[in-house]
Structure 1
């Protein structure tokens, strides 16, 4: 999954910083509730939740990574709170993705070397071995499994966001019939909506009017002005926007795979021997509760997984 987002420091300054999580979706879209917003730290002094080295898991590392002593992790860091974004010093990369990468690095006994990069370069750099892993809201797909191995750590959830004064609820495909919908081109959410639209038209319902803009801030301006009825994007960033904007609400959620459950995972080069160590490190932190503390810190408890898996079934090939 990929998206762009408004600069968090500007939003925090203008609107006050808080984050609201919505109820997690499953294979069926659901209406989302809005619990009370809570403050969140966007300073460079993060005081991350830390873990201890576990020798039996660290011993699973490929020799090259163990000898180097650093865990080089790629993340976009391009302004997608609360996933991976820059702190108020406009330099330090913070968010739930860096926090989970830090837990894994600690368990493996490695120093975290977090590298901010573009979405496209992230995949290239993991494939060529420049980065040991990618932590950047990466959805597991069957096509990606051709080149990469995965260790899961969050549910992939999408949210439908509308203006606060709109009487909308998105629970199933018919609920978007006739609406003007903003969605990113080439994203998983676009593919889901296109399938829904075809299903609706086959049932004699009105078609969706799709609107595409250059970046997410343009979508939010269109939502605020009424040029679109609903915007569809990743649940974490939608929840953040709802909290800081105060003029929007989440009206439904759905799995990032639509009718198919989808997973967010750490990504590493296929066959390099690292995936098993990543999975066991993640599972260790899930079991001892520190993983849950990290998700709670960013109000993403609703996207927690009960167990980490290596290379689960991914979204089908297009």
Structure 2
């Protein structure tokens, strides 16, 4: 597997005492409205059904809702504020909902369970800063190459690479992955940041600490217990900008191995996949997509068109 910044497959990792959040214990959250999927959001023309509504599969049209699985502990991409989903992905989902005439309803779950939930049809899509990779597309275990699940298609909507975050002032002089050799680094479990660190060639290996949430990894850095926190660029850039009014953390070096985030859809559901692609293309053309990225200061990750399965 090619290491990249995007949240990825589970890897061998050291878990916290909290353990993995059980799938059955996910917290249902409704975004993009009041959560009652009876009426589609109004369109700019005032009609009940925008043109792209007819592109949706019949079950989605009948329900009036797209069910979304997401790990909502990853600001600014997705997080919970005042009991509601917020961030880049929920805002983009609202834009897509207007284009399609349906609501997007978010359910919060542990990242490692999301594709399992999608394959079990607990969700229609996964929208969770998820990297589009060939292994995911083909339902393969990245470690063994064995088939572990149904094929997944991705509608790519954003580009990001990994970044290294350190304490303000960079007390340990970390400027690159090589500088982490012999030091401790924190990552979120199930992310490809783990694979990225593990693949780094060192005389003295990096001591990788993997945690259930990025908040826990970030807390380890704040306490000084690790030299760095490695995660997706939008996430660490947001933390560096907002934590303690920008006085706690800083980002060092360039983005590493940038690649696409995708909205995950079962390959057996091409109607929904193609409708999402059309809606995203429409949002890019009319400027509503760009406004969302600008709002969250992540315009550098913009795509110019909605590709399907662009990951490698």
CA displacement, residues 57-115 of structure 1 (integer Å, 9 cap, x when unaligned): 332222222232222222222x3221222113xx2111111111111111111133233
Match of 2:75 in 1: 81
Q: 1:62 to 1:213 in 2, by over 3 A?
A: closer
Matched, 1:113 2:118: no
Match of 1:151 in 2: 155
* Equivalent residues in 2 for 1:1-318, closer than 5 Å: 1=7, 52=44, 55-77=50-72, 79-88=73-82, 91-146=83-138, 147-166=151-170, 168=173, 170-171=175-176, 173-196=177-200, 198=201, 200-201=202-203, 206-212=204-210, 215-242=213-240, 243-245=242-244, 246-255=247-256, 258=257, 261-273=258-270, 274-314=272-312
Q: Can you give the 5+ residue segments of structure 2 that lack an aligned partner in the other structure?
A: 1-6, 11-30, 34-40, 139-150
Contact 1:153 1:304 in 2 (8 A): yes
Between the aligned partners of 1:71 and 1:163, the Cα distance in structure 2 is: 40
Between the aligned partners of 1:102 and 1:305, the Cα distance in structure 2 is: 18
Q: 1:155 to 1:112 in 2, by over 3 A?
A: same
Between the aligned partners of 1:244 and 1:118, the Cα distance in structure 2 is: 24
When normalised by structure 1's length, the TM-score is 0.71
Between the aligned partners of 2:124 and 2:212, the Cα distance in structure 1 is: 31
Cα RMSD of the aligned pairs, angstroms, is 3.0
Between the aligned partners of 1:212 and 1:253, the Cα distance in structure 2 is: 22
When normalised by structure 2's length, the TM-score is 0.73
Q: Which has the higher contact order (CA 8 A, sep 6+)?
A: 1
Q: Can you give the 5+ residue segments of structure 1 that lack an aligned partner in the other structure?
A: 4-43
Contact 1:50 1:102 in 2 (8 A): no
Between the aligned partners of 1:214 and 1:113, the Cα distance in structure 2 is: 23
Q: CA deviation at 1:284?
A: 1.0
Between the aligned partners of 1:244 and 1:174, the Cα distance in structure 2 is: 26
Between the aligned partners of 1:81 and 1:305, the Cα distance in structure 2 is: 20
**Structure 1 residue runs of 4 or more that deviate by more than 6 Å after TM superposition:** none
How many matched pairs? 259
Helix, strand or coil for the counterpart of 1:112?
Answer: strand
Q: Larger % of strand: which?
A: 2
Q: CA deviation at 1:132?
A: 1.8
CA displacement, residues 257-306 of structure 1 (integer Å, 9 cap, x when unaligned): x3xx4210111111212111111111111121111100111111121112
